[in-house]
Amino acid sequence: MRIIYLDIDSLRPDHMGCYGYNRNTTPNIDKIAAAGMRFNNCYTASSPCVPSRASFMSGRFGIHHGALTHWGPGGEFHYPEGDGHSEDIPFFTRHIRKAGYKTVTFSTFGDRHHAWWYFAGWNEVHTHSLKEGNENADEVNASVIPWLKQHGKEDNFFLHIQYWDPHTFYTYPIEYMEQWKDAPLKAFPDEATIASQQKDSFPRSAPFLHWGDKYPATMPGQIANRDDFKHVIDGYDGGISYMDKYVGELLDTLRELGIEDEVCFIISADHAESLGEQGIYIEHASATEAVHHIPLIVTIPGVTQPGQAVDGFVYNVDVIATLTDLVGLEVPSGWDGRSFLPALTGEHWQGRDYLVMDHALYVCQRAMRDEKWYFIRTYHPGLLLHFDDVTLYDMVNDPNQTRNVAHEFPDMVKEMDHRLSQWQHEQARKPGYKVDPMQKVIETGPWKYLKVEDWVRKLEKSGWNEAASELRSIYSSEALQPAYDG
């Protein structure tokens, strides 16, 4: 079996044609989706990049693999000490090789965040540049296509290809943004919402879209109105469109090799992207729906039924478990993922009842999602002071998450809190559990790319003295550490 896994950074499902988007951003991915199954409710268990890809490699939630932030306390990848490798919690790449698969990655991710564990277990690692994840899709394919032409007809390989183009900054040719100049926008956020966001003073907010002073023409300087919002959406969609062009190049190569109909495709993302939700733009900075809801397309010739949609809840770690099951291996006992292979083969299958997700890079949060509710506990707000300690969204009646209804539904808050507490206790009872990495980040603060003093200077330089004073007051040496009840 030939398996190609397209790992697309920062990709939102609702900006893809196969998920109903009105812009033709992903015609080549849509072709792959039409031949297989689209999962409507796939979520990354931990965001952003490092936590998610640590789950990809380990099959575990962030609370177990330990890398819940990008570096420092709470960012240490946990693996059993000593010589040799664990049979209970093996690296995915090592495990699938037991079934005779050649594992190959085209990704610079291990270099990007000094995530050396990412390089474990592959037969071949192609970093293809020293740009640390800032490559455009043409640069990725310049290495991938020659490999495919040489090895594509071989059997039993797992080929992982990582594309970065939907991630800021958008450095593709500008015509890929300009193609959307006459394309309409979604209704959210409207002018009134954007006007209300002009008081926000946190990084990646409407007035403070950029940390520095330099940004490409594919991005606006701020979001002051719907025209600016269109600029940022056109830029994001341009990145998706450019990436999809090179997915088309992959398909052309497979067609030339005569194996187009013999390749299994898995298409997903490490996380998605906020585009106005909670006032955050072009960033993956929280445990919110916009960041954690990711695409998942699975096309397996002779197995999946064309054009099928699946609504059950799944995690990204379930994808790894399913691939393991697909190639005839047992899912390791120490993994947190569950196989959904029965869903692919048309057998009876039911997704998870609810999901627990977390983020600890820019803010310390755990969230819970079921069919109706999205619940968030914020343990440390970092610079995102607009998050309440407890947030509850009605996803049926408020899909854009504009109103925190926690005070209106105290019984539901209590139920969600109970579920979250129960989940934390269940994780703590699992073999090999050490310490919740979330606690480490809470103790030291989610200060990686920006520290309080950096942002205070930015605000003062911009004339936002009142907001700067508020930050100084909250994070003074006398300030109490945020509470954590996990």
pLDDT in tens, 46-62: 999 999 999 999 999 99
Q: How far is residue 65's CA from residue 434's CA, in Å, rounded to a whole number?
A: 10
Predicted confidence at residue 480, as pLDDT, reads 39
Average pLDDT over residues 196-206: 98
pLDDT band at 485 (very low <50, low <70, confident <90, very high): low
Chain-wide mean pLDDT for the chain? Answer: 95
pLDDT in tens, 439-471: 999 999 999 999 999 999 999 999 999 999 999
Which helix (H) or strand (E) segment holds residue 58: the answer is helix 49-58
Contact yes or no for 204/222 (Cβ under 8 A)? no
Predicted confidence at residue 477, as pLDDT, reads 58
Average pLDDT over residues 32-36: 97
Predicted confidence at residue 34, as pLDDT, reads 97
pLDDT in tens, 307-343: 999 999 999 999 999 999 999 999 999 999 999 999 9
What is the model's pTM?
Answer: 0.96
Confidence check: pLDDT of 176 > 50:
yes
pLDDT band at 432 (very low <50, low <70, confident <90, very high): confident
Q: How far is residue 330's CA from residue 322's CA, in Å, rounded to a whole number?
A: 10
Q: What is the DSSP letter of 479?
A: P
Predicted confidence at residue 483, as pLDDT, reads 45
Confidence check: pLDDT of 255 > 50:
yes
SS3 299: strand
What are residue 283's phi and psi, to 5 degrees? Answer: -150, 155
pLDDT in tens, 333-371: 999 999 999 999 999 999 999 999 999 999 999 999 999
Residue 371: name the closest of 420, 414, 341, 416 by CA: 416
* Between 45 and 213, the higher pLDDT residue: 45
pLDDT band at 393 (very low <50, low <70, confident <90, very high): very high
What are residue 278's phi and psi, to 5 degrees? Answer: 55, 20
Predicted confidence at residue 419, as pLDDT, reads 97
Indicate the pairing of strand 314-315 with strand 37-43: parallel
Confidence check: pLDDT of 301 > 70:
yes
Helix 465-474 to helix 452-461 angle (10° resolution) is: 160
Task: Name the β-bridge partners of 368.
Answer: 356, 375
Predicted confidence at residue 435, as pLDDT, reads 93
Ordered structural domains, the chain, with CATH: 2-353 (3.40.720.10), 356-474 (3.30.1120.10)
In this structure, the dihedral spanned by the alpha carbons of residues 89, 1, 293 and 339, taken in order and rounded to 10 degrees, is: -50
Predicted confidence at residue 81, as pLDDT, reads 83
Confidence check: pLDDT of 479 > 50:
no
Residue 333 burial (10 A CB sphere; 0-12, 13-18, 19+):
exposed
Residues of the chain above pLDDT 70, percent: 98
Taking every pair of Cα atoms in the chain, the longest distance, rounded to a whole number of angstroms, is 68
Confidence check: pLDDT of 474 > 80:
yes
In this structure, the dihedral spanned by the alpha carbons of residues 255, 260, 262 and 265, taken in order and rounded to 10 degrees, is: 140
Confidence check: pLDDT of 478 > 80:
no
pLDDT band at 42 (very low <50, low <70, confident <90, very high): very high
**100: CB partners within 8 A, 6+ apart:** 156
Predicted confidence at residue 1, as pLDDT, reads 94
Q: What is the DSSP letter of 267?
A: E
Contact yes or no for 63/436 (Cβ under 8 A)? yes
Predicted confidence at residue 184, as pLDDT, reads 95
pLDDT in tens, 67-116: 999 999 999 999 888 888 999 999 999 999 999 999 999 999 999 888 99
Confidence check: pLDDT of 486 > 70:
no
